[in-house]
Amino acid sequence: MKNFIFTIWILILISIVGYFVWWAVRNNDKAKNDNEYFLGGDLIVDKEKQEEIINDFKKDTGEVYINSKYNFSFKKPDGYDVGFFAYDESRDIVLLQKQGGIGVQIVISSFDENGVLTESRIRKELPNLDMRNISRVYNGSIDGLSFLSSGEAFGKSAEIWFVYNGLFFQMSTYEGQATILKEIINNFDIK
């Protein structure tokens, strides 16, 4: 029975990853032409996408995603589904997904240092990581870094990384959807 449940979870995770890959390939040509936005950078947002995402957060459904394992919460934007998955023994994933492909992945893992995550600390571990438009993110609960990146697995992305109480949070979405990271951070609370 235990193997059956494990197999089901693996199939669900593979399906989610497959959906992200399918959506990215399907929208690749469109994304190349999209105006870009980033939280603290110099890029300008596609106004229609920004308004759509912000309006999803303004619709006060009263729904809040609460993660009791890691003691954090954020306002769930209207129309989004949220899932929590154990990726492996050392990482868990929170996925936010809206029909039409807008989504966010939050990877949570243990981290052996406390304090504010810095660009130099990231570059020490990942010297070849593409990091552009780097800026600090602070909302009263968390203090981290936001930046644009690109890689073979995910393509162009917007990222927010921070450390809190021995945990490393990596929030990622497609570069053209960076507004959603800003809205999540504005509504993010951790104890």
CATH numbers and ranges of domains, the chain? 2-190 (3.40.1000.10)
Residue 109, beta-bridge partner list: 91, 168
pLDDT tens digits, residue range 69-123? 999 999 887 788 888 988 888 899 999 888 766 789 999 999 988 888 999 999 9
How far apart (Å, rounded) are the C-alpha atoms in residues 175 and 41? 12
User: Is-above-0.85 flag for pTM?
Assistant: no
Supply angle C-alpha 101, 80, 76, rounded to 5.
140
Rg (CA), the chain: 16
How far apart (Å, rounded) are the C-alpha atoms in residues 113 and 110? 9
pLDDT tens digits, residue range 21-79? 444 444 433 333 333 333 333 333 455 655 655 555 555 556 888 898 999 999 887 78
- In contact, 36 and 53? CB cutoff 8 Å: no
Give the rounded percent of residues in the chain with a pLDDT score beyond 90: 31
Residue that wins the pLDDT comparison between 173 and 15: 173
Count of Cβ atoms closer than 10 Å to residue 61 Cβ: 12
Q: Dihedral sign, CA of 142, 147, 148, 149?
A: negative
Q: Cα 131 to the chain's mean position, in Å?
A: 16
Residue that wins the pLDDT comparison between 154 and 103: 103
How far apart (Å, rounded) are the C-alpha atoms in residues 3 and 132? 43
How far apart (Å, rounded) are the C-alpha atoms in residues 137 and 171? 12
How far apart (Å, rounded) are the C-alpha atoms in residues 183 and 90? 27
